[in-house]
Amino acid sequence: MEKLYLDKLLTTVSEETPNEYKVLYSNGIHVGSCSYKKLEMMGSRKPIRQDIFLMTNCDMTDIIGSLNNEYPFTSDDHNDVQREIRFDSLTKVRNFVNSL
């Protein structure tokens, strides 16, 4: 997936509580965040453990508004921005957890 909108933002990831993570996005004026919970799933037929990250909250209203002021969006652009936010925040959380 090609990044279009989030590259210019400062991003930090933190562990809020055990197995709960928050990705903060900031452009210096506006802030947005996405929260994830790490769940462990077991296979039903095979004993395979898999970690799943469930997005529990995402408030990027101010960031999307400021991006829209910079690059006026069409309805397709809104879909692309939402997809990019989900993909980018999940990737950042996975990288953070893997680095622990």
CA distance 73 to 6: 14
| pLDDT tens digits, 34-63 | 999 999 988 778 788 889 999 999 999 999
CA 46 from centroid of its chain's CA atoms: 30
Q: Where are the domains of the chain?
A: 10-99
| pLDDT tens digits, 14-42 | 999 999 999 999 999 999 999 999 999 88
- The C-alpha R_g of the chain, in whole angstroms, comes to 15
pLDDT reading at 64 higher than 60:
yes
